[in-house]
Amino acid sequence: MSKTLRLEVMNPDHRVYEGQVSMVIVRATTGEMGILPGHAPLVALLDARPVRIRHEEGELQIPVNGGILLVKPDLVTILSAH
């Protein structure tokens, strides 16, 4: 199993982030969740909270004003309202 997964964060204007990450932490409307490589497919609505991204260089936060989270075993896509 791979130790990373691809993350794409997009808003209506442009692609905000794209890269390989080891973990994605989001605040869905049902609560906080962490996504690791190999995660089961999932669709969730996001709250207006920063997305936390863990990768080799450390942790990064990307502001998200709500949106949709789409998870596949090797890809996480976040479609943000802005």
Residue for token pair 């004003």: 65
Residue 82 lies in a domain: no
Using CA atoms, how far apart are residues 56 and 4, in angstroms rounded to an integer?
10
Residue for token pair 């075993």: 73
Residue 17 lies in a domain: yes
What are the structure tokens assigned to 39, written together? 């995660």
pLDDT digits (tens, 9 = 90+) for 23-82: 999 999 999 999 999 999 999 999 999 999 999 889 999 999 999 999 999 999 999 986
What range does the domain containing 7 cover? 1-55
Using CA atoms, how far apart are residues 47 and 28, in angstroms rounded to an integer?
5
Residue 67 lies in a domain: no
CATH code of residue 9: 2.60.15.10
DSSP state of 63: -
Identity at 68, one-letter amino acid code: I
Identity at 72, one-letter amino acid code: K
What's the domain count of the chain?
Answer: 1
pTM of this prediction? 0.92
pLDDT digits (tens, 9 = 90+) for 8-19: 999 999 999 999
